[in-house]
Structure 1
Amino acid sequence: MKWKVLKTDKDYEKAAKRMMQIFHTEEEGPLLDELELLIVLIKDYDDRNYPYLNTDPIKVIIQKMDEMGIKSKDLVPLIGSKGHVSAVLSGKREITLKMAKKLRDFFQLPADVFL
Protein backbone atom coordinates (compact mmCIF):
# COMPACT_ATOMS: atom_id res chain seq x y z
CA MET A 1 0.00 0.00 0.00
CA LYS A 2 1.16 3.52 -0.70
CA TRP A 3 1.05 5.62 2.47
CA LYS A 4 0.55 9.38 2.61
CA VAL A 5 0.24 12.00 5.33
CA LEU A 6 -2.40 10.93 7.86
CA LYS A 7 -5.21 13.47 7.94
CA THR A 8 -8.14 11.73 9.62
CA ASP A 9 -8.71 9.44 12.57
CA LYS A 10 -9.66 6.73 10.08
CA ASP A 11 -6.28 7.12 8.31
CA TYR A 12 -4.55 7.03 11.68
CA GLU A 13 -6.35 3.87 12.81
CA LYS A 14 -5.57 2.13 9.54
CA ALA A 15 -1.87 3.04 9.82
CA ALA A 16 -1.70 2.01 13.48
CA LYS A 17 -3.32 -1.35 12.71
CA ARG A 18 -0.87 -2.00 9.89
CA MET A 19 2.07 -0.92 12.03
CA MET A 20 1.08 -3.44 14.70
CA GLN A 21 0.84 -6.19 12.07
CA ILE A 22 4.41 -5.67 10.90
CA PHE A 23 5.94 -4.30 14.11
CA HIS A 24 8.33 -7.22 14.69
CA THR A 25 9.85 -7.03 11.22
CA GLU A 26 13.62 -7.12 11.48
CA GLU A 27 14.81 -8.01 8.01
CA GLU A 28 15.95 -5.23 5.70
CA GLY A 29 13.52 -4.74 2.88
CA PRO A 30 10.11 -3.35 1.94
CA LEU A 31 8.38 -4.35 5.21
CA LEU A 32 10.98 -2.64 7.36
CA ASP A 33 10.79 0.43 5.12
CA GLU A 34 7.01 0.45 5.48
CA LEU A 35 7.27 0.08 9.25
CA GLU A 36 9.70 3.00 9.52
CA LEU A 37 7.45 5.16 7.34
CA LEU A 38 4.37 4.30 9.41
CA ILE A 39 6.17 5.23 12.62
CA VAL A 40 7.05 8.63 11.16
CA LEU A 41 3.50 9.22 9.85
CA ILE A 42 1.88 8.21 13.15
CA LYS A 43 4.24 10.41 15.18
CA ASP A 44 3.52 13.33 12.85
CA TYR A 45 -0.24 12.84 13.27
CA ASP A 46 0.10 12.64 17.07
CA ASP A 47 2.28 15.74 17.20
CA ARG A 48 -0.20 17.73 15.11
CA ASN A 49 -3.35 16.55 16.86
CA TYR A 50 -2.24 15.86 20.43
CA PRO A 51 0.62 18.28 21.12
CA TYR A 52 0.52 17.95 24.90
CA LEU A 53 0.54 14.17 25.22
CA ASN A 54 3.68 12.72 26.75
CA THR A 55 4.75 16.17 27.87
CA ASP A 56 5.71 17.18 31.38
CA PRO A 57 2.58 18.82 32.89
CA ILE A 58 4.69 21.54 34.51
CA LYS A 59 6.15 22.51 31.13
CA VAL A 60 2.65 22.61 29.67
CA ILE A 61 1.41 24.85 32.50
CA ILE A 62 4.36 27.20 32.11
CA GLN A 63 3.85 27.33 28.33
CA LYS A 64 0.15 28.12 28.77
CA MET A 65 1.00 30.80 31.33
CA ASP A 66 3.35 32.42 28.81
CA GLU A 67 0.74 32.20 26.05
CA MET A 68 -1.90 33.78 28.28
CA GLY A 69 0.43 36.35 29.81
CA ILE A 70 -0.26 35.33 33.39
CA LYS A 71 2.06 35.13 36.40
CA SER A 72 2.43 32.48 39.05
CA LYS A 73 0.43 34.63 41.49
CA ASP A 74 -2.57 34.15 39.17
CA LEU A 75 -2.51 30.43 39.97
CA VAL A 76 -2.99 30.93 43.73
CA PRO A 77 -6.79 30.42 43.50
CA LEU A 78 -6.19 27.15 41.65
CA ILE A 79 -3.25 25.68 43.53
CA GLY A 80 -3.16 27.34 46.92
CA SER A 81 -0.71 29.69 48.57
CA LYS A 82 2.10 31.44 46.75
CA GLY A 83 4.48 28.89 48.29
CA HIS A 84 2.39 25.98 46.96
CA VAL A 85 2.37 27.50 43.47
CA SER A 86 6.14 27.95 43.57
CA ALA A 87 6.66 24.38 44.81
CA VAL A 88 4.41 22.94 42.08
CA LEU A 89 5.99 24.97 39.27
CA SER A 90 9.50 24.00 40.41
CA GLY A 91 8.53 20.32 40.54
CA LYS A 92 9.07 20.04 44.29
CA ARG A 93 5.40 19.34 44.94
CA GLU A 94 3.10 16.98 43.06
CA ILE A 95 -0.04 18.19 41.32
CA THR A 96 -3.01 16.77 43.22
CA LEU A 97 -6.18 15.57 41.52
CA LYS A 98 -8.03 18.64 42.79
CA MET A 99 -5.35 20.96 41.38
CA ALA A 100 -5.31 19.05 38.08
CA LYS A 101 -9.06 19.50 37.64
CA LYS A 102 -8.82 23.23 38.30
CA LEU A 103 -5.79 23.64 36.03
CA ARG A 104 -7.46 21.60 33.29
CA ASP A 105 -10.53 23.82 33.37
CA PHE A 106 -8.58 27.07 33.68
CA PHE A 107 -6.17 26.35 30.84
CA GLN A 108 -8.74 24.34 28.80
CA LEU A 109 -6.39 21.38 28.49
CA PRO A 110 -7.20 17.71 28.01
CA ALA A 111 -7.14 15.76 31.26
CA ASP A 112 -4.50 13.45 29.75
CA VAL A 113 -1.91 16.18 30.27
CA PHE A 114 -2.04 15.55 34.01
CA LEU A 115 -2.20 11.74 33.95
Structure 2
Amino acid sequence: MLRLIRTEQQYENTLARIYELMQIDLQPDSEESDELEILSMLVKKYEDEHYPVPEPSPIEAIKHRMEQLNISDAELSEILGARSRKSEILSGKRKLSLSMIRALKERLNISADILIQLY
Protein backbone atom coordinates (compact mmCIF):
# COMPACT_ATOMS: atom_id res chain seq x y z
CA MET A 1 0.00 0.00 0.00
CA LEU A 2 1.41 3.37 -1.00
CA ARG A 3 1.53 6.08 1.64
CA LEU A 4 3.15 9.45 2.23
CA ILE A 5 6.69 9.25 3.55
CA ARG A 6 6.79 10.72 7.05
CA THR A 7 9.92 9.27 8.67
CA GLU A 8 13.54 8.69 7.74
CA GLN A 9 12.97 4.92 8.02
CA GLN A 10 10.06 5.07 5.56
CA TYR A 11 12.26 7.17 3.27
CA GLU A 12 15.06 4.58 3.38
CA ASN A 13 12.60 1.73 2.78
CA THR A 14 11.09 3.57 -0.18
CA LEU A 15 14.52 4.17 -1.69
CA ALA A 16 15.28 0.46 -1.33
CA ARG A 17 12.04 -0.43 -3.10
CA ILE A 18 12.80 2.04 -5.89
CA TYR A 19 16.19 0.39 -6.31
CA GLU A 20 14.54 -3.05 -6.55
CA LEU A 21 12.11 -1.80 -9.19
CA MET A 22 14.90 -0.21 -11.19
CA GLN A 23 16.66 -3.59 -11.43
CA ILE A 24 13.68 -5.04 -13.31
CA ASP A 25 13.01 -4.63 -17.02
CA LEU A 26 9.78 -2.71 -16.44
CA GLN A 27 7.11 -2.63 -19.09
CA PRO A 28 5.33 0.69 -19.69
CA ASP A 29 1.92 0.95 -18.01
CA SER A 30 2.61 -2.06 -15.80
CA GLU A 31 1.79 -2.06 -12.07
CA GLU A 32 5.51 -1.98 -11.28
CA SER A 33 6.22 0.99 -13.55
CA ASP A 34 3.27 2.87 -12.00
CA GLU A 35 4.57 1.98 -8.54
CA LEU A 36 8.05 3.26 -9.44
CA GLU A 37 6.63 6.53 -10.72
CA ILE A 38 4.48 7.09 -7.64
CA LEU A 39 7.29 6.16 -5.23
CA SER A 40 9.59 8.58 -7.04
CA MET A 41 7.05 11.38 -6.59
CA LEU A 42 6.70 10.55 -2.88
CA VAL A 43 10.49 10.59 -2.44
CA LYS A 44 10.76 13.92 -4.24
CA LYS A 45 8.10 15.42 -1.96
CA TYR A 46 9.92 14.14 1.14
CA GLU A 47 13.31 15.37 -0.11
CA ASP A 48 11.92 18.78 -1.04
CA GLU A 49 10.59 19.16 2.51
CA HIS A 50 13.51 17.64 4.44
CA TYR A 51 16.55 18.27 2.23
CA PRO A 52 15.86 21.51 0.36
CA VAL A 53 18.55 22.58 -2.08
CA PRO A 54 19.17 26.33 -1.95
CA GLU A 55 19.00 28.27 -5.19
CA PRO A 56 22.41 29.35 -6.50
CA SER A 57 23.36 33.00 -6.36
CA PRO A 58 23.04 34.88 -9.66
CA ILE A 59 26.83 34.87 -10.05
CA GLU A 60 27.09 31.12 -9.37
CA ALA A 61 24.29 30.48 -11.87
CA ILE A 62 26.01 32.57 -14.57
CA LYS A 63 29.37 30.86 -14.05
CA HIS A 64 27.79 27.40 -14.02
CA ARG A 65 25.81 28.08 -17.20
CA MET A 66 28.90 29.50 -18.93
CA GLU A 67 30.74 26.29 -18.12
CA GLN A 68 27.84 24.09 -19.25
CA LEU A 69 27.46 25.92 -22.56
CA ASN A 70 31.18 26.52 -23.04
CA ILE A 71 30.58 30.30 -23.20
CA SER A 72 33.73 32.41 -23.32
CA ASP A 73 34.33 35.57 -21.31
CA ALA A 74 34.11 37.51 -24.57
CA GLU A 75 30.67 36.03 -25.32
CA LEU A 76 29.48 36.90 -21.81
CA SER A 77 30.78 40.45 -22.29
CA GLU A 78 28.75 40.65 -25.48
CA ILE A 79 25.62 39.46 -23.64
CA LEU A 80 26.14 41.96 -20.79
CA GLY A 81 27.09 44.83 -23.02
CA ALA A 82 30.73 45.56 -22.15
CA ARG A 83 33.91 43.77 -21.04
CA SER A 84 34.27 45.87 -17.88
CA ARG A 85 30.70 45.05 -16.87
CA LYS A 86 31.41 41.33 -17.09
CA SER A 87 34.32 41.50 -14.64
CA GLU A 88 32.42 43.86 -12.34
CA ILE A 89 29.37 41.58 -12.35
CA LEU A 90 31.33 38.37 -11.75
CA SER A 91 33.35 39.99 -8.94
CA GLY A 92 30.18 41.27 -7.26
CA LYS A 93 31.13 44.95 -7.64
CA ARG A 94 28.20 45.66 -9.95
CA LYS A 95 24.61 44.42 -9.80
CA LEU A 96 22.73 43.05 -12.77
CA SER A 97 20.47 45.52 -14.55
CA LEU A 98 17.04 44.59 -15.85
CA SER A 99 18.33 44.52 -19.43
CA MET A 100 21.21 42.23 -18.38
CA ILE A 101 18.77 39.89 -16.59
CA ARG A 102 16.60 39.73 -19.71
CA ALA A 103 19.63 39.01 -21.92
CA LEU A 104 20.95 36.30 -19.58
CA LYS A 105 17.51 34.71 -19.35
CA GLU A 106 17.15 34.67 -23.11
CA ARG A 107 20.69 33.74 -24.15
CA LEU A 108 21.77 31.47 -21.28
CA ASN A 109 18.31 30.22 -20.26
CA ILE A 110 18.82 31.12 -16.59
CA SER A 111 15.62 31.60 -14.62
CA ALA A 112 14.80 35.23 -13.90
CA ASP A 113 13.89 34.12 -10.36
CA ILE A 114 17.53 33.21 -9.80
CA LEU A 115 18.91 36.32 -11.49
CA ILE A 116 16.82 38.79 -9.46
CA GLN A 117 17.94 37.45 -6.07
CA LEU A 118 19.93 39.67 -3.73
CA TYR A 119 23.64 38.90 -3.67
* TM-score, L = length of structure 1: 0.58
Cα 1:71–1:43 shift into 2, 3 Å: farther
Q: Distance in 2 between matches of 1:42 and 1:95?
A: 31
- After the TM superposition, which parts of structure 1 deviate over 4 Å for at least 4 consecutive aligned residues? none
In 1, are the aligned partners of 2:66 and 2:72 still within 8 Å (CA)?
yes
* TM-score, L = length of structure 2: 0.56
Kindly tell me the number of residue pairs found equivalent between the two proteins: 81
Cα 1:75–1:2 shift into 2, 3 Å: closer
Q: Which residue, out of 11, 16, 41, partners 1:7?
A: 41
Same amino acid, percent of matched pairs: 22
Tell me, yes or no, if structure 1 residue 99 matches structure 2 residue 100. yes
The alignment yields a C-alpha RMSD, in angstroms, of 2.5
> Shift of the alpha carbon at 1:68?
1.1
Point out where structure 1 has 5 or more consecutive residues left out of the alignment.
13-37, 48-52
In structure 1, the partner of 2:49 is: 42
Cα 1:41–1:55 shift into 2, 3 Å: closer
Larger Rg: 2
**Which deviations, in whole Å up to 9, do the C-alpha atoms of 1:65-88 show, x marking residues without a partner?**
111111111012221211111111
The within-5 A match list for 1:1-115 is 2-3=4-5, 7=41, 12=45, 40-44=47-51, 47=53, 54-115=55-116
**Which deviations, in whole Å up to 9, do the C-alpha atoms of 1:45-83 show, x marking residues without a partner?**
x54xxxxx6311101100111111111110122212111
Q: Distance in 2 between matches of 1:109 and 1:98?
A: 14
Point out where structure 2 has 5 or more consecutive residues left out of the alignment.
6-10, 12-38
